Every structure is written in structure tokens, then in C-alpha cells.
Amino acid sequence: MAMALARRLGGAVVNADAMQCYRELRVLTARPSADDEMAVPHFLYGARAAAEPANAAWWRGAALEVLEGVELPILCGGTGMYLAALLKGIADVPEPGAAARAEARGLLVEIGAPALHARLLAADPETAVRLKPGDSQRIARAWEVWRGTGHGLAYWQARGSARLTGWRVKMLQLDPPREVLRDAIEVRFAGMLKAGAIDEVRELLALGLDPALPLMRAHGVPELAAYLRGEILLQEAASRAILATHQYTKRQGTWFRRQKLVGGADMQTIHARIAGPAQLSKSFMVELVNFISIRG
């Protein structure tokens, strides 16, 4: 849909998916193909190495740079925190440094997320109370920020950057029926396996990266890694990956329903209950173009 709109309106597709920022897993993160990227301008796809963890602050800065040179950016992707960071602003957290990051990751392995959360509760209670004891990624991030900057995340978040200005924003959310989405996830993962997802994961594992890095936890990576280690059969790995993806889409849908990413006279939103490219009819595309083009 993003590509169709870019062709019709002369726009550019800008990645707003956290996993598609990385270059190592084109197949398993469903990044656009090389032919797609040549057909219309694409930005921020495969822009980071797996060893360089991306986050909302980095993405917002990179997206703002892209927006400076693009007349009609079409942001495509479902990482809500990235979109919220762009539209609402985000805390400008200083870089905590390699030592603080290593300490956080080491403690996570040594004592586990709940114990590290307990330590964070004593050191930075304002941040810790917002986190679940089992949320290892956010707990480690909070610990490294506190250790590396001298202030907790809550402190920095209270000093967030300004909202996005100078743009009219139109939001389009695809919302297919759950049963249609469930079937699509199964077909999608089967296609990924045929397209070389196993080899991608094998090459990723050969890099010897920290297992706590975001890309190492992308849907399908832990499951196919277990298969490659001989711990489970491929059918079981596929079933687990499909289930994990389905559970994520449920959480994703709930998150977007609860958020108010757009609002005000210069922003509008529309929901589209379509199941896939086959339903991008001529009349529907005309409706989308009108939705985007008409002011107000």
C-alpha cells in the first residue's frame, strides 16, 4: 500500500518498523526487496547493523533528517513507540556509555530481570515502578541510563523534546479480522522459510552477538536458533514463531487502540479492514489518495 501511494503521489516510503532498521535479516523481518527499493524511494531500511541497537530516540532523529528532504513521506510500519516518538516527542537521554551498558547486560545474565528490577527500585524508584519485573529489556535500559548518566529514565523523560510541527499528519491503520490475520501469519512464515530465513539466522548466529540485542529477539530468531542447535524440530520452531507473532499482533493492536497518536485540526485518521494487497482495489486507492490529499 505504501509503495502504491508513493507511485501515485510521488512520495517516498520511510521505515517505521524497529526490526526492519537492521540489515542482516531482510527475509525474516519482511524488509522490502531490492527491486521494491529501486521502484520507489525507500529510507531507513537496513540502516543499522545488528550490533548497533536502534531505539526510538535514534529513529526519531534519523526520521527527522529524512523528512527535511522529502516532500511527501509515507511512514510504513507498526512500531508504535517510534511513531509516538516522532509525533509527540521523546526524552533526549544522554548516551550512558559502553561500561554502563555492559554492566546492565551482565547483571541481567547474572541475577536475572526480577532481581535487577529490585535493585532499580532502590536506586531509581520513579522509573522502576513503571516497569514489570520480568521486562528484561526495559529494566536493563533503565539500569544503564541510571548508572551512565546519574539520573533515571523518568528524570530524562520529564524533559522530552517537542511535538512534530510543520506537517499535516494523516494516519491509516490496517485492521484485518483476527482469523484472516492468523492465516496470513502462517502463510507469511512458510514463505520466509522457503526464501532462506534459516540461512539468515545461521549467519546471524555466526556473528557471536550479545543475545540481548534487539535483532536477536526478532520473531523467528530464537525459534530457528533452537532448531539450528538441534533442540527442536523445524515444525515446532515454525509453530512457536507463528504463535509469538500472533501474540505480538494482539498486543500491537491493543496498544494502537489505547494511544492517541493523532488529534487536533491538522490530523486525521482512518481505519481500513483489509486483508492484503489483493484488496487494494482502484476505488479504495482513490479513497486513500483523497484522504491524504484533501486538507483538513
Domain boundaries, the chain: 2-90+166-293, 98-157
As given in the structure block, the three cell numbers for residue 269 are: 485518521
Query: CB count, 10 Å around CB of 135?
Result: 15
What residue ranges of the chain have pLDDT lower than 50?
A: 264-265
pLDDT at 265: 47
pLDDT in tens, 81-96: 899 899 988 877 888 9
CATH architecture of 2-90+166-293: 3-Layer(aba) Sandwich (3.40)
98-157 topology per CATH: Histone, subunit A (1.10.20)
Q: What is the pTM of this model?
A: 0.80
pLDDT in tens, 134-190: 888 889 999 999 999 999 988 987 776 778 888 888 888 888 888 888 999 999 999
